[in-house]
Amino acid sequence: MSVKEKVEQAIKILDERSVDCWLTFVRESGINHDPMLDFLTGSEVTWHSAFIITRSGETCAIVGEMDKKMIEDLGVYKHVLGYVEGIKQPLLATLKDINPSSIAINYSEASEISDGLTHGMYLTLHDFLSEIGFEKKLVSAEKITSSLRARKTDSELSLIQKAVDETNDIFKLVVSFIKPGKTEQEIAAFLKGEVNRRNLALAWDENFCPSVFTGPKTAGAHYRPTDRKVERGHLINMDFGVKYEGYCSDLQRTLYVLKEGESKAPLEVQKGFETIVTAIELARAALKPTAKGYEIDAVARQHIVSRGYSEFPHGLGHQVGRFPHDGTAMLGPAWEKYSTKVFEPIEEGMIFTIEPRVEIPDHGIVSIEEMVVVGKDGAEFLGQPQKELILIS
């Protein structure tokens, strides 16, 4: 991913959204990091800094004098202004010259990925703009930042595809390691060892990535591996992802440990697995531009309920990018905790997980998580999806 290609993409989105100007305002970004800065500099800045992009194609960075050379070297911004005493005068002069009808800034009630402007920085900016009568021009940049993160460029897609491929390769290797008596912690350590050997990074917190759950009555999600041992008759679920050159994968695989004398999984386990595979495929087939996330969630949820299972207690899927959860629009039900995210229209270039689950009494959880990219006419899997239950003998 290059900063240049994302800035060029931002100009097009501003024009599409009929927004004159987008302003990202930050300071000490190594401490308070605005998620959008990844696409604007690729590095951290120290003092009050402003990155301004307009729908007409003007680009300007205003930074502390000692950060100026770093931003100039990007070769992205037509104007790079350095200051010594304070940012206010060059910032106001630049905005007066642009004279936008609206100034989009990075705050949002619904989307954490679009909410990088701290309250203190907002107050500072508001005070500055009040001096020239521009304070009422401030609007949320959520629609701009959401689309910029969501619409993956070819280079971004290539990096995510590499992360997916590496994750699937590691999943294949761990199958031969798993056997009765191994603990969740030992399985997780094997996966982490492969990540280190390949000079990759984990996609999220190392205390929870990978997550490994064996058998019934586990936490089931968002919990660290324990010293619980694999037993025959257990379902094993692994939730795991890697980060490759700044971009993530997020996948889950389910295995079944055969009991003595078994050559295949019990009917109730196989039924649960097939239900999940079908639910994922139905959701993938329905996932197209302009659809809404709650509509896609309903497709999978209704299928699972029709097979006699309870609803899964979470959304169907989230966007993936530089973070495992990366984007505003999501696939989920109209629950309070998802705010307006599930009503956002799906856009071409978005990458989603699809991850329904069912519980099989006395055995554990069946949960598969696949990643798909939304194209012009529909969604396609990134990597080979799990279609067969992996059996451990």
Q: Which residue has the tokens 């996330």?
A: 293
What number is the average pLDDT over the span 33-59?
96
The two tokens of residue 122 are 């907002």
Under the banding of pLDDT at 50, 70 and 90, the label for residue 260 is very high
Q: Which two tokens stand for residue 314?
A: 């979470």
Length of the chain equals 393
pTM check: above 0.85: yes
75 and 160 within one domain: no
Cα 182 from Cα 239, distance rounded (Å): 17
CA dist 236 to 70, 126, 226, Å? 48, 53, 13
Q: Domain with 218 in it: what CATH number?
A: 3.90.230.10
Q: What is the pLDDT of residues 148-162, one digit of tens each?
A: 999 999 999 999 999
In the chain, the percentage of residues whose pLDDT exceeds 90 is: 97
pLDDT by residue (tens digit) across 192-211?
999 999 999 999 999 999 99
DSSP structure string for 267-318: HHHHHHHHHHHHHHHHHHHH--TT-BHHHHHHHHHHHHHHTTPPPPSS-SB-
Mean pLDDT, residues 348-353 = 97
What pLDDT is recorded for position 162? 98
Higher pLDDT, 283 or 42: 283
CATH number, residue 13: 3.40.350.10
> Do 155 and 108 reside in the same domain of the chain?
no
- Domain co-membership, 288 together with 172: yes
Q: What is the pLDDT of residue 301?
A: 98
The answer to whether the beta carbons of residues 246 and 39 sit under 8 Å apart is: no
SS3 call for 65: helix
3-state SS of the chain: helix, strand, coil percent to 5?
A: 35, 20, 45
**Residue type (1 letter), 167:** T
Boundary (domain end) residue, out of 123, 148, 173: 148
Whether residues 144 and 214 fall in one domain: no
Question: pLDDT tens digits for 298-339?
Answer: 999 999 999 999 999 999 999 999 999 999 999 999 999 999
Residue 1: what pLDDT?
74
- Number of domain units in the chain: 2
Q: Are residues 256 and 130 in the same domain?
A: no
Question: Which residues span the domain enclosing 57?
Answer: 3-148
